[in-house]
């Protein structure tokens, strides 16, 4: 039997109840109980809710680990950023593909500027690219971002990072949140809200079951974020430093040959700094060596290929096991090492300062603002990466 997963058979399999909770299959173990791959017999990964493109990608990779490396992988899902990242930090999950919360947790920003959180030792291990943006129904009459003025626009519950992107997109069109009618809604509820008219626009990955379902019922349009006016992106670095404009094809609802520009960034697979470097290295080795077995399972699975991984912008450090892997594969450069070391130093400085900072500013009117101000005034600028190997991206 052909061991590879194609898109149709894999996505059909996701409908099975057992697949949604635990991807078990025929886990192969050695006589002593260790897996043939040398990895733990069981791992827990946290990610987005079922039906999203991100979930489907993670499930495809996890299924490969189960079927071909003997690792039983349980997927924990949540519709909020904190809900996806908290299990990693608490030790409930081993790895997380959680969204931009990995960056804000590392920095101790926003919800993480609190006594419970503070700066966290997050590490990225693999950074597949993706394209994300705002879509509308074609029957809405909305053709550009500027046309969103006065329209019903999502404000995603407990998802500060995505709300920053939603603001950056409005800024591209010369708008702010004051120019739209904000609708508080969860990420996974947007599709139904678009059908019923509760929303005029939604934020989504360009591929995935939810958005494909919407496009099958209502023609949709991805609002283009391209052009030669760099001033349209003036706020992007502050609001979402991990984002760059990126062209894509093959998105839901797009005709053959049609392209558009929206936000391109990685939702990386992350773990904590104290995860075994040997384990992380082996996770990447298994994923790389078995890439052909899952690369066609979902529209975005091919972005997990070694030549696709985004090593820049690097906004948090890579794990030691990842650095070793990239060095072996010839994808790690002196410029990346400088940036990586600068981020490790940034982490050390934030960690050293945090207890005294919190003691002084816990009762301030806005500890979040005070923390950002402290960092701006006390932390050195990060060096740019000027020698990144070329990489290609697709939707």
User: Is residue 291 scored above 60 in pLDDT?
Assistant: yes
Neighbours of 380 (CB within 10 A): 9
Q: What percent of the chain is modeled with pLDDT above 90? A: 83
Specify the pLDDT at position 27. 40
- The predicted-structure confidence for 298-315, as pLDDT tens digits, reads as follows 988 999 999 999 999 999
The answer to whether the Cα torsion of 357, 361, 366, 367 is positive or negative is positive
Segment 356-376 mean pLDDT: 98
- If you average pLDDT over residues 204-219, what whole number do you get? 93
d(CA 11, CA 212): 12
- For the chain, the straight-line distance linking the first and the last C-alpha, in angstroms and rounded, comes to 29
Structure confidence at residue 46 as a pLDDT band (50, 70, 90): very high
> In which residue are the tokens 């960034």 written?
265
pLDDT band at 362 (very low <50, low <70, confident <90, very high): very high
- pLDDT of residue 10 exceeding 70, the answer is no
DSSP string over 138-177 = GGG---SGGGGTTSEEEEETT-HHHHHHHHHHHHHTT--G
Percent of the chain with pLDDT over 70: 89
Q: In 3-state terms, what secondary structure has residue 21?
A: helix
* φ/ψ (deg, to 5) at 269: -80, 125
Tens of pLDDT, residues 230-276: 999 999 999 999 999 999 999 999 999 999 999 999 999 999 999 99
Nearest to 370 by CA among 153, 143, 113: 113
pLDDT at position 386 is 93
Residues 320-359 have pLDDT tens digits of: 999 999 999 999 999 999 999 999 999 999 999 999 999 9
Kindly indicate the confidence band of residue 99, based on its pLDDT and cuts at 50, 70 and 90.
confident
CA gap 65, 28 in Å, rounded = 10
* Residue 258, CA distances (Å) to 48, 129, 147, 249, 261 in order: 28, 20, 21, 6, 11
Burial call 236-254: b when 16+ CB within 10 Å, e when fewer = beebbbbbbbbbbebbbbb
Place 393 in a pLDDT band, splitting at 50, 70 and 90: very low
pLDDT value at 18 more than 50: no
What pLDDT is recorded for position 122?
98
Which pLDDT does position 36 carry in this prediction?
A: 60
Identify which has the larger pLDDT, 271 or 17: 271
Higher pLDDT, 241 or 79: 241
Taken in order of first residue, the domains within the chain and their CATH numbers are: 7-128+267-339 (3.40.190.10), 130-266 (3.40.190.10)
pLDDT of amino acid 220 = 98
Please give the pLDDT value at position 336: 98
In this prediction, residue 21 has a pLDDT band, given cuts at 50, 70 and 90, of very low
Extended beta strands in 163-318, E state? 181-185, 202-205, 220-222, 244-249, 259-266, 269-272
Residue 159 pLDDT level (bands cut at 50, 70, 90): confident
Peptide bond into 325 cis (omega under 30): no
């Amino acid at each position: 039997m052909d061991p590879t997963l194609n898109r149709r058979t894999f996505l059909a399999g996701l409908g099975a109840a057992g697949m949604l909770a635990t991807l078990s299959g025929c886990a192969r173990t050695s006589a002593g109980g260790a897996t043939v791959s040398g990895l733990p017999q069981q791992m827990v990964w946290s990610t987005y809710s079922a039906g999203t493109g991100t979930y489907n990608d993670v499930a495809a990779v996890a299924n490969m680990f189960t079927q071909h490396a003997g690792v039983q992988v349980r997927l924990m899902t949540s519709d909020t950023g904190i809900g996806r990242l908290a299990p990693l930090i608490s030790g409930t999950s081993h790895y997380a593909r959680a969204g931009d919360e990995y960056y804000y947790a590392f920095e101790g920003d926003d919800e993480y500027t609190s006594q419970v959180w503070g700066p966290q030792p997050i590490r990225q291990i693999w950074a597949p690219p993706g394209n994300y943006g705002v879509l509308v129904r074609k029957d809405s009459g909305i053709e550009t971002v500027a046309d969103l003025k006065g329209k019903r626009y999502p404000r995603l519950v407990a998802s500060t990072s995505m709300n920053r992107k939603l603001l950056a997109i409005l800024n591209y069109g010369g708008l702010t949140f004051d120019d739209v009618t904000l609708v508080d809604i969860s990420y996974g509820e947007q599709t139904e809200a678009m059908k019923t008219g509760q929303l005029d626009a939604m934020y989504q990955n360009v591929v995935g079951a939810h958005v494909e379902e919407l496009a099958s019922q209502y023609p949709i349009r991805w609002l283009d974020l391209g052009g030669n006016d760099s001033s349209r992106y003036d706020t992007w670095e502050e609001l979402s430093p991990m984002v760059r404009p990126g062209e894509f094809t093959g998105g839901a609802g797009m005709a053959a040959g049609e392209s558009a520009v929206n936000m391109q960034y990685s939702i990386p697979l992350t773990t904590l700094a104290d995860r075994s470097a040997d384990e992380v290295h082996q996770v990447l080795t298994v994923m790389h060596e078995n890439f052909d077995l899952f690369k066609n399972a979902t529209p975005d699975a091919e972005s997990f290929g070694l030549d696709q991984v985004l090593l820049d912008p690097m906004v948090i450090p890579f794990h030691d096991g990842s650095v070793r892997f990239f060095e072996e594969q010839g994808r790690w450069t002196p410029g990346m090492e400088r940036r990586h070391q600068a981020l490790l130093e940034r982490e050390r400085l934030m960690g050293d300062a945090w207890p005294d900072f919190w003691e002084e500013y816990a009762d301030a009117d806005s500890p979040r603002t005070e923390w950002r101000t402290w960092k701006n005034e006390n932390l050195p600028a990060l060096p740019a990466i000027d020698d990144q190997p070329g990489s290609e991206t697709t939707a």
